Amino acid sequence: MRRTLPLLLLLAAIPAIAQDTTPTINSHEVSSNGSITFRYQNAAASKVTVNTDAAFDPLVMQKDSSGLWSVTTKPLPAEDYNYSFVVDGVPQLDPLNGHVNPNIVALSSSVLVPGKPPAPWELTQIPHGSVTRHFLTTFIASGLPMNQEPYFVYTPPNYDAKRKGGYPVLYLLHGWSDYGDGWIDVGHANLILDSLISTGSIVPMIVVMPQGYGDFSFVTSGHDVWKDPAKVNNNLTLYSKMLMQEIIPAVERDYPIAKGRDNHAIAGLSMGGLESLTIGINHAAYFAYVGGFSAAVKNLNFKQQMMDPGMARDLRVLWVACGTSDELIEPNRNFVNWAKAQQLPVTPIETAGKHTWLVWRDNLIHFTPLLFRASKH
């Protein structure tokens, strides 16, 4: 009986399996020409759209007689696109897609349009670096669970913990609503770095990705917090102190970081761009390379947050990039004008695109080859 019972259970299940005639829906089908067909099954819905960085405006889906909604994009460049459905005004994840982008405020699904050859953010058969998660107890930041600040450290392929002279370091900061590993989970920065190192486009470096909130309520209070300059400045001030006084010393204790400002860089996107520009310029004695990607400098209080640039006038790179369809393009242009008036060696970069990861991955690919070329290790 012991051997017969499992067989009987299997035979009993066969009719149920045979009766399951539910059609399989490919909710995010990528065609050979790069177009994506999105599908969503909901006969009761009256309107379904797709919010996606594959298009500038929401895509309006059409419903067939079975209640299946669908829409097809134009042919798209190779990219990892984010999207979510909006069903009668309510945002919804794709229930048939397991690739979910984590986010504190709003989750999204992702779909890859592969490149030929593969794009730098795609997984390929090349040597890969490692990403290690750390925690430190902060006595500066406010509101973090148990006062624990997470940060992630990328070490390059063939990493040598005893390398003579150490490695140069890039502090790479995420945007508002991302977790500390946003650059890994959504930006695929580790794969991009692997790819650029494999082609010799960048020097092997350590990349530190901290969580970017000096006051955690800054992200849990909703997007309107950006309308309050006092809260923006408070978050920025606390985060700047935590990075310089707690995170950097912890990293330098545990990793072989090369000494000297010519071996230190900082860059970030959106909120992280605001932080990187402010910290990099105010602490130019430590950083020689500074980058802002779509930096959230709209409410930057220059008198309160920006010191006399001093050594920042001798930065090797001050790279300020933004998409021309981004609502932050004018604030970034204003920042560039301020930097020029302060005689800072600013390089303004404007590319097509909105406030999306499509722009920021491209920024990372073009910014990192500028780093540490004059340094000796």
3-state helix/strand/coil string of the chain: CCCHHHHHHHHHHHHHHHHCCCCCCCCEEECCCCCEEEEEECCCCCCEEEEECCCCCCEECEECCCCEEEEECCCCCCEEEEEEEEECCEEECCCCCCCEECCCCCCEEEEEECCCCCCCCCCCCCCCCEEEEEEEECCCCECCHHHEEEEEEEECCCCCCCCCCCECEEEEECCCCCCCCHHHHCCCHHHHHHHHHHCCCCCCCEEEEECCCCECHHHHCCHHHHHCHHHHHHHHHHHHHHHHHHHHHHHHHHCCECCCHHHEEEEEECHHHHHHHHHHHHCCCCCCEEEEECCCCCCCCHHHHCCCCHHHHHCCEEEEEEECCCCCHHHHHHHHHHHHHCCCCEEEEEECCCCCHHHHHHHHHHHHHHCCCCCCC
Residue 48 has pLDDT above 60, yes or no: yes
Q: Is the pLDDT of residue 124 over 50?
A: yes
Rounded to two decimals, the pTM is 0.91
pLDDT at 300: 73
- Model confidence over 74-115: pLDDT tens digits? 999 999 999 999 999 999 999 999 999 999 999 999 999 999
Phi-psi region at 294: left, alpha or beta (left = phi > 0; alpha = psi -120 to 50): left
User: pLDDT confidence of 374, banded at 50, 70, 90?
Assistant: low
* Per-residue pLDDT, 23: 56
pLDDT at 321: 98
Yes or no: say if 207 and 233 are a contact pair by the CB < 8 Å rule.
Answer: no
Quick one: pLDDT at residue 302?
67
Across 22-31, 171-180, 228-237, least confident range = 22-31
Q: How sure is the predictor about 2, in pLDDT bands with cuts at 50, 70 and 90? A: very low
What mean pLDDT comes out for the span 21-34?
A: 85
Whole-number pLDDT of residue 140: 98
Give the tens place of pLDDT for each residue, 295-334.
999 977 766 666 668 889 999 999 999 999 999 999 999 9
Q: What is the mean pLDDT of residues 130-143?
A: 98
> Phi and psi at residue 216, in whole multiples of 5°?
-65, -25
The larger pLDDT score, comparing residue 248 to residue 4, is at 248
| More confidently predicted of 2 and 246 | 246
Average pLDDT, whole number, for the chain? 92
**Look-up of token digits 């790479």:** 172
pLDDT over 70 for what percent of the chain?
Answer: 91
pLDDT at 307: 65
175, 257, 285, 262 alpha-carbon torsion, rounded to 10°: -100
- Residue 310's pLDDT is 83
Do 241 and 210 contact (CB within 8 A), yes or no?
no
> Does residue 19 register a pLDDT over 50?
no
d(CA 192, CA 220): 30
